[in-house]
Chains A and B, each alone.
Chain A
């Protein structure tokens, strides 16, 4: 099982610069425990707190390198690399669908032209949310093995389900618009799969 220390470090690797509450949400640890780990990590020079109005925690360069090494070591020790690789493969098939759905949630064609979805047509919105639910089910099926093999990945299952449940209950900002939204959690899962497998995001440029 991933140590609390690595959980906190790796959360910052996947969610970016974030306030304590968001790190805590990503790790599933209490805020007090998360803060304690972050302070230890800061003492080791792996993370830093940037104060200010939007005070937040972020990785240092050393922290990024340490995370890559420790996460990769964890995979090898636990022998879970094939499970993660398989889940990443399935994820890549589903990712374009998620992006289609987020776009359909935000924009909808009027006379053939994409226009902001003003969310006044609840029938349209519920059709989109039905497709989100369908996609979510397929992600859950494809990743069931991953959730079970690595507890820290299982956290995404809870966070995605939570976002979708809230959105379907009427909190529409949980689809794309807040930092706990379905899209943001999915985006972090994407980053986590890449980071865990040590795959850089493909560079722009030409063959």
Chain B
């Protein structure tokens, strides 16, 4: 039985075996794009593991051979005293289940390998940072330590310097020992094996099971595991991570869009705990990386014949792609991309019509903020409840209630607790520095129908001084701001919602729909598109 498949351009296994993430890596390789060397443990091994409660026969030997192949390809050695090989161990099934399964990064960083990495790079801080990330990830994925507990342990350590990192490492090591009765194994092969097991086991966690139940995904597919040589976004100041879209996911416009985080690994971009920068900042700092991205996205668009986005890391000025996903745009952006792709000749008009489902047109009608001058943008977070709201900044719930008597307010908080509920009720919208679209604040905002932006990571709220700061700017309580709970923008001043119409791309798409269905334009938009879909199906 072949359980493991090295990543190369000639790999013919389908996404149901390699997982969609692994399959995407093969596509990237085929297109000649830079992908760190690695291998994929197919979904069959996961199914066997879940069925029998142990790794299947023969996997050990295949894993050893695959690691050895990776050592040869990278001229590194797992746990080696010089040039240590460090790997990422990522989940990824045939159907995407974002954030539901485990991933462990920086695997292989034993105490010895960490010292070796420090010696090799001459950068002890970097090596310790990576070791700390490994321990945290391992504790979370393998031992199930909740993130709040890990946060608390690392906050005790405090400072960001080498001694602070050493303290943080010790804190997590002690936490692991206390909770599991044993230290994190200092054997790199064992680390890889435990990480693989943890990824397999994460298929059956209650969260993942719930996700599949709610999204009609079969429970017996299993996840693949992608193991790759680490590329380090935290390597130096010419390193970083980000996400890049081939078209602006808010508007559908063909322009470079995305975010980048200098000096950090990719998990920091995704988790929303750090301050990301707009992608074009790469142009000045890393022109080669900047130039590589649109070229790659262009090639990917032509392959998928759809808008795409990639997760990338650059290490010491060199670009690597870690994941590609086609599609996934909503509302106006989805409509515009379908129409533009037809105009560009990448897809037919018939296909453009089929790319947009009638219920998606509802998103086109969600009010969005008008375009703001870049200088007016205070910060950006994640949209958690759609809609646009304008009001004066209030930094506590009590003040929100008091100020609301004199006109609409936006409650701006580090995070929310039940103690903020009356402020939320009084406010026209809410912004939080912490939390994601799946947080108490987001759930409450949606329950109350208030536009909400969460996870605006660079936002600091100074309650005592009654002011908030972001993007190097400080504004006082009472300042007028506008928030967009779809795109996550927080903008100074009054930027009224733009009425959804007129959208020339939507009009063109609907004209094409009428041509196909032979119907008239007096019906509502969803009916016009649905009639075209029916005609195309018939």
Measured CB to CB, the residues of A under 8 A from B are 14-18, 54, 56, 58, 89, 92-93, 95-97, 99-104, 106-115, 124, 127-128, 130-131, 134-135, 138, 176-177, 179, 181, 183-184, 187-188, 190-191, 199, 201-207
Contacts and interface: CB of A to CB of B under 8 A. Distances in A.
A8 B395 CA distance: 27
B537 interface: no
Given A16-B397, A100-B211, A207-B168, A106 B328 contact: no
Contacts of A113: 328, 330-331, 334, 360, 363
B434 interface: yes
A6 to B, nearest CB: 18
A89 B331 CA distance: 40
A115 B443 contact: no
- Which residue of B328, B418, B444 has the most chain A CB atoms within 10 A of its CB atom? B418
Interface string B352-366: 000001011011000
Interface stretch (B57-65, B142-150, B316-324): B142-150
B83 to A, nearest CB: 28
B443 A190 contact: no
A131 B422 contact: no
Interface in B143-177: 144, 146, 148-149, 151-152, 154-155, 160, 168
User: Which interface residue of B331, B401, B417 has the most chain A CB atoms within 10 A?
Assistant: B417
A109 B444 CA distance: 19
23 contacts: A16-B418, A16-B420, A17-B419, A18-B422, A95-B146, A100-B207, A100-B438, A102-B438, A103-B442, A107-B446, A112-B327, A113-B330, A113-B334, A113-B360, A115-B359, A124-B214, A127-B213, A176-B444, A179-B421, A183-B440, A187-B418, A191-B418, A204-B434
A172 B328 CA distance: 30
Between A108, A127, A130, A205, the greatest number of chain B beta carbons within 10 A of the residue's beta carbon is seen for A205
A110 B154 CA distance: 39
B250 interface: no
Interface in B431-459: 433-434, 437-440, 442-444, 446-447, 457, 459
A124 B455 CA distance: 29
Contacts of B433: 204
A203 B414 CA distance: 7
B215 interface: yes
Contacts of A108: 214
Nearest to A188: B418
Contact of B418 (A15, A114, A203, A205): A15
A102 B437 CA distance: 11
A99 B443 contact: yes
Query: Which 5 pairs, one residue from A and one from B, show the smallest C-beta to C-beta distance?
Result: A92-B146, A113-B330, A17-B422, A204-B433, A16-B419
Interface string B323-340: 000011011001000000
B460 to A, nearest CB: 8
Q: Which of A56, A110, A207 has the most CB of B within 10 A?
A: A207
